[in-house]
Structure 1
Amino acid sequence: MRWKSAAAGLALLLAAACSAPTVPRAEGTKATLGGASACARSSAPTGAMTPTTVDVIEQAYYCILDNYYSGATLDARKLLLAGFTAMTQELNRGGRDVPEAMMPPLTGDRKADWAAFEAAYRKVTDRVPQLADKLAAATLEAIVAALGDNHARWTHDDTRSPDYYDGDRYGLGLETNANAGHLAVAVAPLFVTDVVGGAAQEAGVRPGDVIESADGSATFVNGKPVPPAIAALNPVYPEARPVELSLLRRSTGRRWTVTLKPGLFTPTPDALRMVGSKLVDGKVAYVRLRGFATDGATRVLREITRLRTGRTLTGVVLDLRGNGGGSPVEATRLVSAFVHGKVTAYQCDVSGQCDTSRTDDTVELVGLPLIVLTDRDCASACEHFSSAIKDNGAGRLIGTRTAGVISGPADPWLLSNNTLLTFPSKHHLGPNREVIDGVGVAPDSYVPLTPADAAAGRDAALAKALTLLQE
């Protein structure tokens, strides 16, 4: 696994929890189109990772065609072209190119096209055996990426630092109002929303500080984000290249430059806390849930009960900002604490046949007005919950639109080199059969975080929620 910044790393881990439901380690296999060794449904590798070869790539190719949501209908030539393109790009990065590296003609016959692809691929790797591992990894990564599915990934890099321990994160130790996954909707200026440890904390960076440039590149140009500048703020483990930031503290007018070196760090206690709660105004239960872990709903309801003991509450504010997802079962259970007898989502195949997810009416109703705080980092199971609450009239959403990263719960498939493919076999629709993936869930009240609010520690969204609960 690759360790990213605190915010991105948490989102990735929680998304992985959603995309890898609990299944037997190897409950079975499925015959493939090409007769290659079948991929096995599996929750974890059974041994050490071995080299990725063209045979592994073939296995992944047929695994996708046999099991992916639209595998039966997609044009497999798209996958092979993406893989071959990535291979030639990796050749160039390795300072090599060979005359045999030419894409063969493809006809649309999946078996024949694979045979042509494999023959051309082997000609290349036979010429540059020293690059074989990198070429294979680049090819398979590109094939999976060509699906264009935010719940599809190939997990193959488990390199960790010798001083790694559970709870560590990797990065600069800061979170911002924009990240690489949401650049299309990022709004200037780029600013620090939280400091969770690491180099940013040591350098005295504060929430509200505006990041005007990263490594000499402006973060926004003509109102549009600059991807390389944003990416510099989310270094991938084990990269340790220092990042130079130009900062503006609007409250004082101070401008300065700081160089931050990414590394492993222990986050602040608040950043590590999956569930936090407090009593607000003496009568409102505020609960923050950072991810739908396997006991997420139970822990939220326990906190509401604790805050309710000995007093009369007028409402619940559930803060899901930064919630990267997790278990769709837990999302459904938490919805069920606020409404019964409703549909929470549909999981549909490529032909439009859908399974219906419904509330679990054995869960006791809370019986209090609910307001949910959302933002662009509320993803996957978080969006399942948010859309179910909104569509069923069980509460109101305040903040900003959710991430739109909810293609569908993904299943894990074990490849012969002990790496995992994960991708959905069905796609997610909201309770009104609306597409949320790529779109997100719109808030009922749009209340974005501003640099001034972040710097002053003001929470305008929470303030709006408290106002609505008084009405």
Structure 2
Amino acid sequence: MTVARIAAAGLALLLATACTAPPPPRGQSSTAAGTVCAPPHGTPGAETPTTIDVIEQAYFCILGNYYSGATLDARSLLTAGFTALTQELDHHGRDLPGATMPALTGDRKADWAAFETVYRKITDQVPDLRDKLAIATLEAIVAGLGDDHADWIHGVKQPPDYYDGDGYGLGLEANVDASQADGDLGVAVPPLFVTTVLGGAARAAGLRPGDIIESINESAPFIDDRATPAITALYPQYPEARQVRLRLLRKGTGRRWSVTLQPGLFQRDLAALQVVRSKLLDDDIAYVRLTAFAPDSADRVLRAISQLRKGRTLSGVVLDLRGNSDGGLTEVTRLVSAFVHGKVTAYHCTVDGTCAASRTDDTVGLLNLPLTVLTDRGCASACEQFGSAVKDLRIGRLVGTRTAGVVSGPAQAYLLADNTLLSFPAKHHLGPNREVIDRIGVPPDHYVPLTPEDTAAGRDPALAKALTLLHK
């Protein structure tokens, strides 16, 4: 999701008029403090310190605009925030005898007032920690939603040209995608192995695809086939970066060895960073790899297929969506519409079950070609919307592994008074058959996982299966 930022002067005008204006227009909501919770317009100024007033604005913004805000037990958010507050105090060795959660009754405004009173008493006693406590509290309130499309965007922003395939600048990609490392590691399946060596420290250390990572900083990535927090050491948040020590096994030779990799940026292959890449396979199959449903990506895919179709008869299309975890609904709809017309591609629903249907764009010309789609746990969000449409509408077959289950709903950004952005869905996503995909994912029609042996040998079993299906 791309969000605009608003100028400081524009923000001051917006807040000043909001205090005296009639009820805000559609798409905005007033907080108890009188400020407006509204999408940004323009570019905001520099961030200012997060205060209890900003936390209040975010709290009422969530209750007024989040998908289930009308029915949400707000006490759960305040409890999450207060828990983080006390943990931050303890982390700094500054716990206080009065840092006790106030009694909450379920009255949202009264509960906020009680929370704010205690919060101010605490922070007044540790003024040097005020900023850290505010950040920890608001982060926890947003995390308390348990929504994979809810976020508070603040602090250090990674540069616009920054790309780090494994999250660490080591030049490797493993078989656990970053969304798993940041969230539910329960979906990770052993062993943890290198799938690609991109360059940098990993290449310099001689790592190869298929090498199994047996330990990370002396800790096992899996115990009893269950993922451990050790994996997250490979996926820190920007700009954190610490050297990492890996214990590796190369099954083909039986070699075991350890390397210490120092993170750092490195030159990437620019061709590998292209959103759309295509080639002809077996003289009659159009293979297209799409790494994100970025603006204009659907048309670029269709142009690539058209180019491959010139002068020959194609037997089908392989669309490789493995690792595709970003993009917008418009591009999903346009690409689905190249394979079917007159269908519902998804539903976006309010908490009371009122749903708006997203339909195919029947101005897009039909390809009239068989389709197979390659998916994995790195296929998330917009990618899962596409995959569920392909499966439910029977316009193709999915090959690979289940998708990520990270598709709660399209997120909307709201500007807070400290020039940070709060982002969450106003509606919940359902597939074309009205099924929940969030946290569950879309299962493949043909389960074909990647193995270290296949990776080491340069084999792609999912692609091979897709080609077999199209040639039947």
The TM-score with structure 2 as length reference comes to 0.92
The one-letter code matched in structure 2 to 1:279 is L
CA 1:384–1:21 in structure 2 vs 1: closer, same or farther (change >3 Å)?
farther
CA 1:302–1:167 in structure 2 vs 1: closer, same or farther (change >3 Å)?
farther
Report how far residue 184 of structure 1 moved.
1.2
Within-5 A mapping of 1:14-93: 16-17=1-2, 30-32=28-30, 34-42=32-40, 45-93=43-91
Report how far residue 198 of structure 1 moved.
2.8
Report if aligned partners of 1:45, 1:420 keep a CA contact under 8 Å in 2: no
Alignment correspondent of 1:13: none
Report if aligned partners of 1:154, 1:419 keep a CA contact under 8 Å in 2: yes
Report if aligned partners of 2:6, 2:44 keep a CA contact under 8 Å in 1: no
Find 1:199's aligned residue among 187, 198, 201: 201
Q: Alignment partner of 2:36: what SS?
A: coil
Alignment correspondent of 1:3: none
Alignment correspondent of 1:215: 217
Report how far residue 263 of structure 1 moved.
2.5
Report how far residue 21 of structure 1 moved.
9.8
Report how far residue 133 of structure 1 moved.
0.8
**What is the rounded CA distance, in whole Å, between the counterparts of 2:372 and 2:152 in structure 1?**
37
Higher RCO, Cα 8 Å, sep 6+: 1
Report if aligned partners of 1:211, 1:245 keep a CA contact under 8 Å in 2: yes
Report if aligned partners of 1:235, 1:262 keep a CA contact under 8 Å in 2: no
Within-5 A mapping of 1:216-295: 216-227=218-229, 229-295=230-296
Report how far residue 104 of structure 1 moved.
0.5
Within-5 A mapping of 1:434-445: 434-445=435-446
**What is the rounded CA distance, in whole Å, between the counterparts of 1:23 and 1:346 in structure 2?**
31
Within-5 A mapping of 1:343-354: 343-354=344-355
Report how far residue 333 of structure 1 moved.
0.4
The one-letter code matched in structure 2 to 1:210 is I
**What is the rounded CA distance, in whole Å, between the counterparts of 2:198 and 2:312 in structure 1?**
34
Report how far residue 441 of structure 1 moved.
0.4
Q: Alignment partner of 2:247: what SS?
A: strand
The one-letter code matched in structure 1 to 2:161 is D
**What is the rounded CA distance, in whole Å, between the counterparts of 2:370 and 2:336 in structure 1?**
13
**What is the rounded CA distance, in whole Å, between the counterparts of 1:105 and 1:258 in structure 2?**
52
* 1:355 pairs with 2:350: no
**What is the rounded CA distance, in whole Å, between the counterparts of 1:153 and 1:271 in structure 2?**
29
Report how far residue 167 of structure 1 moved.
4.5
Q: Alignment partner of 1:264: what SS?
A: coil
Write the deviation string for residues 66-88 of structure 1: whole angstroms up to 9, x where unpaired. 00000011000000000010011
Within-5 A mapping of 1:321-336: 321-336=322-337
Q: Where in structure 1 are there 5+ consecutive unaligned residues?
A: 1-15
**What is the rounded CA distance, in whole Å, between the counterparts of 2:315 and 2:321 in structure 1?**
20
Alignment correspondent of 1:377: 378
Q: Alignment partner of 1:41: what SS?
A: coil
**What is the rounded CA distance, in whole Å, between the counterparts of 2:173 and 2:42 in structure 1?**
30
Write the deviation string for residues 304-350 of structure 1: whole angstroms up to 9, x where unpaired. 00111111111000000000021111001000000111110000000
**What is the rounded CA distance, in whole Å, between the counterparts of 2:4 and 2:307 in structure 1?**
30
Report if aligned partners of 1:39, 1:416 keep a CA contact under 8 Å in 2: no
Within-5 A mapping of 1:144-183: 144-160=142-158, 166-169=161-164, 171=168, 172-178=170-176, 179-180=180-181, 181-183=183-185
Alignment correspondent of 2:409: 408
Report if aligned partners of 1:192, 1:207 keep a CA contact under 8 Å in 2: yes
CA 1:168–1:33 in structure 2 vs 1: closer, same or farther (change >3 Å)?
closer
CA 1:31–1:22 in structure 2 vs 1: closer, same or farther (change >3 Å)?
closer
Write the deviation string for residues 139-163 of structure 1: whole angstroms up to 9, x where unpaired. 0000000000000000002345xxx
Report how far residue 366 of structure 1 moved.
0.7
**What is the rounded CA distance, in whole Å, between the counterparts of 1:62 and 1:45 in structure 2?**
23
**What is the rounded CA distance, in whole Å, between the counterparts of 1:362 and 1:22 in structure 2?**
33
**What is the rounded CA distance, in whole Å, between the counterparts of 1:244 and 1:185 in structure 2?**
24
In percent, how many aligned pairs have the same letter?
A: 65
**What is the rounded CA distance, in whole Å, between the counterparts of 1:37 and 1:182 in structure 2?**
35
* 1:104 pairs with 2:102: yes
Q: Which moved more, 1:191-200 or 1:128-137?
A: 191-200
Report if aligned partners of 2:29, 2:38 keep a CA contact under 8 Å in 1: no
Report how far residue 165 of structure 1 moved.
6.1
**What is the rounded CA distance, in whole Å, between the counterparts of 2:424 and 2:290 in structure 1?**
25
Quote the RMSD (CA, aligned, Å): 2.0
Write the deviation string for residues 47-78 of structure 1: whole angstroms up to 9, x where unpaired. 11110000000000000000000001100000
Report how far residue 185 of structure 1 moved.
1.6
Alignment correspondent of 2:117: 119
Report if aligned partners of 1:49, 1:417 keep a CA contact under 8 Å in 2: yes
Report if aligned partners of 1:45, 1:414 keep a CA contact under 8 Å in 2: no
CA 1:395–1:165 in structure 2 vs 1: closer, same or farther (change >3 Å)?
closer
**What is the rounded CA distance, in whole Å, between the counterparts of 1:237 and 1:21 in structure 2?**
21
Q: Alignment partner of 2:459: what SS?
A: coil
Report how far residue 33 of structure 1 moved.
5.1
The one-letter code matched in structure 2 to 1:201 is R
CA 1:22–1:371 in structure 2 vs 1: closer, same or farther (change >3 Å)?
farther
Report if aligned partners of 1:274, 1:291 keep a CA contact under 8 Å in 2: yes
Write the deviation string for residues 270-319 of structure 1: whole angstroms up to 9, x where unpaired. 44121111100111000000000011101100100011111111100000
Report how far residue 44 of structure 1 moved.
6.2
Alignment correspondent of 1:392: 393
Q: Where in structure 2 are there 5+ consecutive unaligned residues?
A: 15-23
